[in-house]
Chains A and B, each alone.
Chain A
Amino acid sequence: MLRIAHLYADEMNIYGDRGNILTLQKRAEWRGIRVEVRAIGRGPAPDLSDIDLIFWGGGQDRDQELVFTDAAAHKVDAIREAIHGGAVVLAVCGGYQLLGEYYVTADGKKLPGLALADLHTVPGARRNIGNIVIETRDLGLQPPTLVGFENHSGKTYLGAGLRPLGQVIRGAGNNGEDATEGVAAGNVFGTYLHGSLLPKNPHFADFLLLRALQRRGPVRFEALDDTMEMAAHNAVRERIGARR
C-alpha cells in the first residue's frame, strides 16, 4: 500500500502536474501495489503521519499567494512530521519555490515559505521558458539525465552546502547563473521541471516510489518495460542537442 498526498490539487495544477500523480500511481499499481491518492486543499491540515509521498505542483501567481498563506498557517507542522517519519516530498515549479525560506513576488511582496530547505526565490528580469535537460549526480539514476520543460521568472538560490537535484546541460535551471537545477535535500526534492516531469523520467519516478515504500521495510520492486517512456526522454534530449 502506497499513500500519496496531493497538496493543493485544485490550486497548484496548471502545468500538467496530474501527469506526475498518474505516473506514480500507475507505476505502483502495475507492480501490484495498491495506491491511495489523497487530495488536500486549503484549510486545517489532516494528519499526514501515514503518508508515504507528498506531492505539490505549480499554480498561477494569485493562487500561489493563497497557497503560501495557507501552507504557513495549516500545513507546515504536518509536513515536517511526515518528513521526519520518512515521507518523500516532490515539489514542482511554484511548489518548489514554496519549499524555501521565502519567495519574493514580481511586485516585491515577500512571502515566507515552508522552510523545508535552505533556499529562496527572487523575481528575475526575464522568464525562462523552454525544454531543459539536467544531469543528476549521486542519486544512482540510470541514465543520470532528467528532461522536462521549464517556465518560470523566479530565480532560486540554494544555501551553502545544499545539493541541487542536478546540473543543467541545456536550459536555465534554478537561476540561469550557476548551472544548478532543483534541490535534493534528504527526502525532499524540488525542481522547476514539468512537462510532465515523471512520465518522461520513469527512472526518477521509480526512485521516488522506492524511497517512499522502503520506509516501511524492504519491498519487492520489479523492473517495468520503459521503452516508450525512454523513447520520449531521448527524443527531448535529441531535440535540444543534449545527447552525447
Chain B
Amino acid sequence: MLARFGARAMAALWAGKLTAGLSRGLRRGGGTTLPGDVSRWVDPRILTTLTRSLDQGAVVVTGTNGKTTTAALLRHILEAQGRRTVANQAGANLIFGVTAALVNRASWSGGLDANVGLFEIDEASLPRLVQEIAPGTIIVTNLFRDQLDRYGELETTAAHIRRALTQGPEGVTAVLNADDPMVAALGDGLPRVVYAGLDDPSLLQPELSHGADAKFCPRCGSAFVFEGVYFGHVGHYHCPRGDFARPSPDVRASSVAIEGMERMRLRISDGAHETGFDVPLSGLYNAYNVVLAVAAAQAMGVSIASSAAALRNFTPAFGRMEHTVVDGRPAVLLLAKNPTGFNEVLRTAIQFGKARSFLIALNDRIADGRDVSWIWDVDFEQLKDVAGHIVVSGDRALDLRVRLKYAEIPDDRIEVVSDWRLALRRASEATADGQTIFVLPTYTAMLELRAVLTRDGALQPYWKGRPVDAKP
C-alpha cells in the first residue's frame, strides 16, 4: 500500500530513517524516538501521512498501568488473525515514539507492510495523537496517581483523556475499564463504548489500599460505596446518592484463577458466549489487561474464542514479568513505577511467586518521576514476614532504605548496593537453591539493569526484544 507522499513527507521519512540507521550504527540504542523527532521537524504532518495507509486503522492504548502489556496482548491476538500490525516500542510512548515506529517500519518509498497500527500513548499526548492519526479504537486501562511532578494531578490526566475522547474522530470506539470509577466516568455521553471488567466476587477485597485515588463520585462528590476492590480503587462501587454506579461490563471475566507466576486461567464472556482462557501471565492487574485486549479485539471483529486460542502462547513484554537468569539463579523482572502498580507486583510476587529474595531499585530521573514521595504509599509492610533478603539499589536507594526501616523489616535482611552489577550479584548470592530473584525496578532502573543483563548475555537488547519493528 503506497500512501500519496509529497516531497516534504518523503524528505521527513528519509531524514528519520537515516537518523535511525545512524543511531544504531553509533550504538546509541535502538532509535526508538529520535527518528520521530527528526521526521516531525522536517514535516509535522508525517504521522498523519504515514498512518493513512493503514487500511484497518489504528488502536491506541492509554492509562497509568498496563499500556504496554495490553497493547502487546492485542497485537498478539490480531497477528494470529493474519493482520499485520505496526506498534511502537514498549515505553516509547510519546508522539515521537509512535512516529519513530512508523518511520522505522516504512520502506524508503513510504510503503507500509502493515494494515493496523497499535500504539501505547502517554495520557497527556493522547489528544494530539488522536488528532493526528484518527484511531478507530481507544483503550483506557486505569488511572492512578503516577509521577505527579511530570503529569500533574489525576484530574488533569482524566481531562486530557476526556478531551481526546469527546473530540475524537466519528465512529471511534472507547474500550473502558468498568471497574475503575474515573475511567468508567469517561464513557459518559460517548456514542460507542465497550466496558470491560472482572466479575469474580471471590477475589474482591473489603479494603481500599493506600494507593487508591478515585474515592469520590464524579457527579456529586460523595464518597463511593465499594462492595469490594480487586486492587487500588478498582472494583465494584456505587455512589450512595445514586448519581453514578459501575457500568455493567459488556465483556467480563467471570472467574480468574492465577497459577504461580507463569500462567492464569480466566473465563471471559461477551454476554452471548463464554470461553476459557489460559494465558502465560500472572497477577490480577494482568487479568484486566487481558479482558481489555479481548474486548478491543472483539470490537474489531475478533471472536473471544479466537482471542483465547491466540493468547495461549503469548510472550510477556520486556521488563513486565520477563523471566531471565542472573548469575545462575532464575529471576523475574517486574516493572514497578507507582504505588498501585508496586503494591500489585508485590502482592503477585508474594502470593503467587512465593517470593523470598528481592532486588528493589528506585531511580528519580524524569521518566521515573523526580519525586519519590510515592514510595510511602507502597505497602512494603507486605514484605515484613516473607522477605528473606532485599537488595536496595538505584539513585534513591537511601530513601528506599528508610522506607523499609519504617515498614519494620529487620536490618539484617536488607543490603544497600549502589553498583548495578554488584547488586545483581548480591541478590543472586543471597537466593537459595530453587528460589527465584524478584527484581522490582522503576523505569530507568529497569533499563539500566537490563543493559547489564544484556552485556552478560542473559537478555536481548530492548530494541531487539519483542515486539520488533525496526528493520535491520
Contacts and interface: CB of A to CB of B under 8 A. Distances in A.
Interface range on chain B (Cβ under 8 Å from partner): 20 to 34
B398 A232 contact: yes
14 contacts: A10-B223, A14-B145, A15-B373, A17-B373, A18-B210, A18-B376, A22-B406, A60-B155, A127-B152, A151-B148, A194-B373, A199-B406, A229-B405, A231-B401
Given A18-B210, A19-B373, A22-B376, A200 B153 contact: no
B399 A16 contact: no
Given A10-B223, A18-B210, A151-B149, A196 B405 contact: no
A129 interface: yes
A21 to B, nearest CB: 9
Contacts of A162: none
Interface stretch (A61-69, A114-122, A209-217): A61-69
B377 A63 contact: no
Contact of A26 (B154, B216, B396, B408): B408
Given A16-B376, A60-B154, A232-B402, 18 more contacts: A10-B215, A13-B377, A14-B153, A15-B371, A15-B373, A19-B403, A61-B153, A63-B216, A130-B370, A149-B372, A195-B371, A195-B373, A196-B373, A196-B376, A199-B399, A199-B402, A231-B401, A235-B396
A111 to B, nearest CB: 15
Interface in B349-391: 370-377
A17 B374 CA distance: 9
Contacts of A66: 216, 221
A66 B398 CA distance: 36
Interface string A111-147: 0000000000000000101110000000000000000
B406 A149 contact: no
Interface in A132-177: 149, 151
A145 to B, nearest CB: 16
A14 B406 contact: no
Nearest to A22: B406
Which 5 A/B pairs are nearest by Cβ-Cβ distance?
Answer: A16-B373, A19-B376, A16-B376, A232-B398, A60-B153
Given A19-B376, A199-B376, A228-B402, A61 B155 contact: yes
A166 B216 CA distance: 36
Contacts of A130: 149, 370
Contacts of A195: 371-373
